[in-house]
């Protein structure tokens, strides 16, 4: 019997109320954001035992969204990021999902194609990276090796209209391979200036065919990808990530309220389980603070689970969940430094500080050696 005692209601913590997200029954609302860590095994961009331990440590999250994972060799944009297009990669990820499940957690795979945020050195046969339009993103960089450091990306090649079904097929195969690897679902990466985001936003898509021009046309490819992925996974195990006002990788949209409000409506029609919205990116954001009008438009158009992301504190997440601004929150940098972050939030315990110098690349340091509460008490 549930209690209606005023003291019980006052003590309720919005972060630790259970929630149903599609087919996934989650015990609380502190989820792990997708985090590129650039530690996939070489050659082959294959998850290793070190990656297994990293995800196992964080299985206490409501659910884990994996690091961005390229759906094809063409989709790769950074050194040492994992893929989901080879049998070795499937086998490596299967070890990750088994470890997370054994620890009582759930994990979904983020499906990724970087588009223009790449270099010929990272592409099959040294090919020019592809994009909706041949526009070089100002200020965008990637890295091709530990020795190179960060280097500017170059002008991409515009995809021909008859190539676009092949892009959709890459996502479909990635979704099929994620299923084989034992994931609990998938998230389509349509954020942060990568290929699907490049099609959505007005400054990166100047096409004149059915995939450019009007907002409906710019949404066409992402929605075709959603259809292909849900054909594999069903709607109840599929989500998507967007960053409507993010400026990372040279991105901008002339009217994000209209663009992402309509996208939310179209996504709602598909029936997918959740949308994760990057509201306040540490990598750059055109809005001052959280883009509340855009959030309102997305909330109005998408009636299923809304996941807020972007520099949330525990108390801010509590307040926004209680106010109906989001249904749960994903945490990035705090989850890197605190593998037991939900438990720390529950106890209102101190947090480990993250080491930004070890975010990308490297070894166990800054990856699987952060202390748990029992070790730091």
Give yes or no: 194 in active site. yes
Give the whole-angstrom CA distance, residue 228 versus residue 272: 12
DSSP 8-state class, residue 352: P
- Provide the sign of the torsion angle of the four alpha carbons 309, 248, 171, 152, taken in this order: negative
Contact 298, 244 (CB under 8 A): yes
Query: Is residue 325 helix, strand or coil?
Result: coil
The pLDDT score that the predictor gives to residue 374 is: 83
Rounded-to-integer distance, Cα 105 and Cα 58, Å: 8
Block residue for tokens 């998230």: 187
What is the per-residue pLDDT for 2?
39
Q: What distance, in Å, lies between the first and last C-alpha atoms of the chain?
A: 36
Q: Can you give the pLDDT at residue 146?
A: 83
Phi, psi of 335 (to 5 degrees): -75, -30
Find out if CATH 3.20.20.70 is the number for domain 14-376. Answer: yes
Q: Residue 285: name the closest of 256, 321, 323, 318 by CA.
A: 256
Any idea where the domains of the chain sit in the sequence?
A: 14-376
Please give the chain's pLDDT, 377 residues, in tens: 334 444 444 569 999 999 999 999 999 999 999 999 999 999 999 999 999 999 999 999 999 999 999 999 999 999 999 999 999 999 999 999 999 999 999 999 999 999 999 999 999 999 999 999 999 999 999 999 888 889 999 999 999 999 999 999 999 999 999 999 999 999 999 999 999 999 999 999 999 999 999 999 999 999 999 999 999 999 999 999 999 999 999 999 999 999 999 999 999 999 999 999 999 988 899 998 999 999 999 999 999 999 999 999 999 999 999 999 999 999 999 999 999 999 999 999 999 999 999 999 999 999 999 999 986 55
State the helix-helix crossing angle for 87-102 and 164-180, rounded to 10 degrees. 50
Residues facing 308 on adjacent strands: 277, 329
pLDDT at 1: 36
DSSP-derived secondary structure for 3-24: ---HHHHHH--GGGS-EEETTE
- Picking from 160, 220, 216, 228, the residue whose alpha carbon sits closest to that of residue 188 is 228
Q: What is the pTM of this model?
A: 0.96
What are the residue ranges of helices labelled H in the chain? 6-11, 49-57, 87-102, 164-180, 195-200, 215-218, 220-233, 256-270, 292-301, 314-322, 333-337, 341-347, 373-376
**141 phi and psi, to 5 degrees?**
-135, 160
- Are 141 and 150 in contact by the 8 Å Cβ rule? The answer is yes
Beta carbons of 68 and 58 less than 8 angstroms apart:
no
Instruction: Tell me which residue has tokens 């592409």.
Output: 123
- Say what the pLDDT of residue 377 is: 54
Q: Are 266 and 302 in contact (CB under 8 A)?
A: no
Buried b (16+ CB within 10 A) or exposed e, 99-115: bbbeeebbbbbbbbbbb
Burial class (CB in 10 A: 0-12, 13-18, 19+), 215: middle
Set 78, 143, 194, 211: catalytic member: 194
**Cα–Cα distance between 6 and 48 in angstroms, integer?**
50
Can you tell me the distance from the alpha carbon of 377 to that of 371, in angstroms, rounded to the nearest whole number?
10
Q: Find, among 269, 348, 346, the residue nearest to 17 by Cα.
A: 346
In terms of phi and psi (left: phi > 0; alpha: psi -120 to 50; beta: otherwise), the region of 180 is: alpha
């Amino acid at each position: 019997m549930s209690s209606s005692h005023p003291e019980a209601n006052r003590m309720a913590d919005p972060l630790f109320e259970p929630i149903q997200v599609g087919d996934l029954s989650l015990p609380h609302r502190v989820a792990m954001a997708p985090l590129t860590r650039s530690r996939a095994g070489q050659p082959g961009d294959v998850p290793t035992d070190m990656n297994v331990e990293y995800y196992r440590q964080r299985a206490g999250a409501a659910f884990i969204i994996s690091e961005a994972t390229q759906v094809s060799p063409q989709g790769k944009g950074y050194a040492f990021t994992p893929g989901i297009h080879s049998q070795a990669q499937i086998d490596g990820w299967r070890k990750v999902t088994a470890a997370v499940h054994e620890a009582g957690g759930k994990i979904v795979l983020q499906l990724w194609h970087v588009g223009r945020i790449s270099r010929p050195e990272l592409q099959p046969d040294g090919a020019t990276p592809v994009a909706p339009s041949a526009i070089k993103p100002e200020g965008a960089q990637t890295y091709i090796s530990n020795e190179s450091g960060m280097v500017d990306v170059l002008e991409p090649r515009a995809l021909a209209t008859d190539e676009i079904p092949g892009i959709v097929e890459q996502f479909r195969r990635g979704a099929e391979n994620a299923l084989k690897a034992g994931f609990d679902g998938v998230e389509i990466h349509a954020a942060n200036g990568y290929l699907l985001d490049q099609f959505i936003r007005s400054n990166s898509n100047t096409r004149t065919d059915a995939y450019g021009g009007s907002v409906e046309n710019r949404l066409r490819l992402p929605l075709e990808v959603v259809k292909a992925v849900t054909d594999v996974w069903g709607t109840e195990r599929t989500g998507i990530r967007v960053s409507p006002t993010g400026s990372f990788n040279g991105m901008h949209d002339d009217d994000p309220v209209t663009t992402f409000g309509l996208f939310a409506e179209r996504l709602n029609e598909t029936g997918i389980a959740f949308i994760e919205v990057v509201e306040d990116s540490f990598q750059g954001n055109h809005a001052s603070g959280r883009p509340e009008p855009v959030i309102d438009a997305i909330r109005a158009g998408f009636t299923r689970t809304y996941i807020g992301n972007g520099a949330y504190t525990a108390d801010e997440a509590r307040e926004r969940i209680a106010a109906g601004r989001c249904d749960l929150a994903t945490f990035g940098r705090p989850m890197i430094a605190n593998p037991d972050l939900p438990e720390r939030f529950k106890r209102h315990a101190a947090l480990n500080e993250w080491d930004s110098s070890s975010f990308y690349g490297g070894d166990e340091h800054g990856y699987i050696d952060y202390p748990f509460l029992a070790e730091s008490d």
